[in-house]
Amino acid sequence: MNMPKTLSRRDLLVSTLFGAGYVGLRSVATGLPVSVLLDPRRAFADGNVPCTPGSAQFVILNTSGLGDPINASVPGTYEDPNIVHSPDPAMAPGPLTMNGQKFTAAAPWATLPQTVLDRTCFFHIMTNTPVHPKEPDVLKLMHVAQPDEMFPSILGRQLAACLGTIQPQPITLGASSPSEGLTYSGQALPIIPALALKATLTSPAGPLTDLQPLRDQTLAELYDIYRGSATKAQRDYIDSLVTSQTEVRSIEQGLLNQLGSITDNSPASQVLAAITLIQMKVTPVVAVHIPFGGDNHRDVGLATETAQTISGVATIASLMSQLASAGLRDKVTFLSLNVFGRTIGPGNTDGRQHNANHQVSIAIGKAFRGGVIGGVSPFGGDYGATSVDSKTGMVAEDGDVTAIDTLSAFGQTALVGAGIDPGVVATLIPSSKVITAALVS
């Protein structure tokens, strides 16, 4: 009696990444959209072609359930002399120019290239929780989305078809705790560390070593179908997308070299793995964890905050450089969203506490206007995010985006910036409004 074959962990991971029948891998090998490979007869009969990507963006999302003190070093927190910043000279406040406007921030932020700063937007927002395990709730924008779905999953669901990705589900590379795990339609998604991705895809029997024969086999099967079903225009369309054997060899070797340089699960390795997944069009959204100070209740002289802010900004700079080198500068948006920020008032010189009222999110991409959205004011013995005027992005006591709505407004703005139709966004997140000042008109 033949026993059913038990799938290995590698097989399960490859199936997760590339779908049943490795359709995603076939897409990488042939250059053809997954939609055509899944149902070629319908594609030929209906004349369907993938939607034009246009402004649609892949997204790399940095998220932390630790509540990093990003909010303690960014522009918008240097106007009030009572706000406590790291005393380390490496974090000294200095000038920062974004989109022609002058700001003050900790020195590391000024190390970002001007081309990056001009499309970097800092959002001062309120997550309304001081509890670590509430990270999933914050990622659900505190349950204001319709349906009640995580923000990265909303992004994935809306962007997948236009980007032609293998799957809409986000992929998590850097979750450091269960609270950072993502869900899609209520189902928990697997966490795939960078080293696991490397081991699976670069082994001698790994899927990337068979791209050329997989290409030839897939095209032979496809040509058999469309010889009798497709019009000349449809055949020309397919032929225009097909990747040549020479190109496949280049893709194969490039991806293998890229993944082969991963040596750990560090933020730098997560960034490299994220770019690789985007180049392979596996998913619209990849989640990473870039530390920016962590849960620093006891941090003498704010030393950890200093070290990780410096390294975190350097990781973002490296990400932007690698995206530019890969021709992805205008195709990928970087976002950050953490469970909460940190206290920044007097008495926080040797550590910081949880701050439910102030967190800073970052958006970097071609759709974003460099600058600062909102700010802080004294609140509950410390500081909290203010109300904002959506048209100017400025602090406004009577602003049309209240402090409690800044989280959902960030979500709406980020969705539009990623290329999703504003009308659709208004339906998905009806409780707030897009901060138009953050977006390039």
Closest residue by Cα to residue 173 from 153, 192, 190: 192
Is 290 within 8 Å of 83 (Cβ atoms)? Answer: no
The values of phi and psi at residue 194, to 5°, are -55, -40
Is 334 within 8 Å of 365 (Cβ atoms)? Answer: yes
Side chain identity at 368, as an amino acid letter? F
The Cα diameter of the chain in Å comes to: 78
Residue 427 burial by CB count (10 A; 0-12/13-18/19+): exposed, middle or buried? Answer: exposed
C-alpha distances (whole Å) from 305 to each of 348, 409, 416 are 12, 28, 32
Kindly list the domain boundaries of the chain, sorted by start residue: 54-196+264-438
Position 23 scores a pLDDT of 78
Position 109 scores a pLDDT of 98
Instruction: Specify which residues 359 forms β-bridges with.
Output: 125
- The tens digit of pLDDT for each residue in 81-127 reads 999 999 999 999 999 999 999 999 999 999 999 999 999 999 999 99
What does DSSP assign to residue 386?
A: P
**H helix intervals, 355-430:** 406-417, 422-428
Position 231 scores a pLDDT of 74
State which fold the 54-196+264-438 domain adopts. Answer: Alkaline Phosphatase, subunit A (3.40.720)
C-alpha distances (whole Å) from 37 to each of 23, 30, 238, 367 are 7, 10, 11, 32
If you count them, how many residues does the chain have?
441
Side chain identity at 264, as an amino acid letter? D
Q: List the pLDDT tens digit at each of the 441 positions of the chain.
A: 343 444 455 666 777 677 666 777 788 888 777 777 777 766 555 544 333 457 899 999 999 999 999 999 999 999 999 999 999 999 999 999 999 999 999 999 999 999 999 999 999 999 999 999 999 999 999 999 988 999 999 999 999 888 888 889 999 998 888 889 999 999 999 899 999 888 888 877 777 777 888 888 888 888 777 776 677 777 777 777 787 777 777 777 788 888 889 999 999 999 999 999 998 888 999 999 999 999 999 999 999 999 999 999 999 999 999 999 999 999 999 999 999 999 999 988 899 999 999 999 999 999 999 999 999 999 989 999 999 999 999 999 999 999 999 999 999 999 999 999 999 999 999 988 999 999 998
Position 219 scores a pLDDT of 84
Instruction: Specify which residues 133 forms β-bridges with.
Output: none
User: How far is Cα 62 from Cα 413, in angstroms, rounded to an integer?
Assistant: 17
Position 427 scores a pLDDT of 93
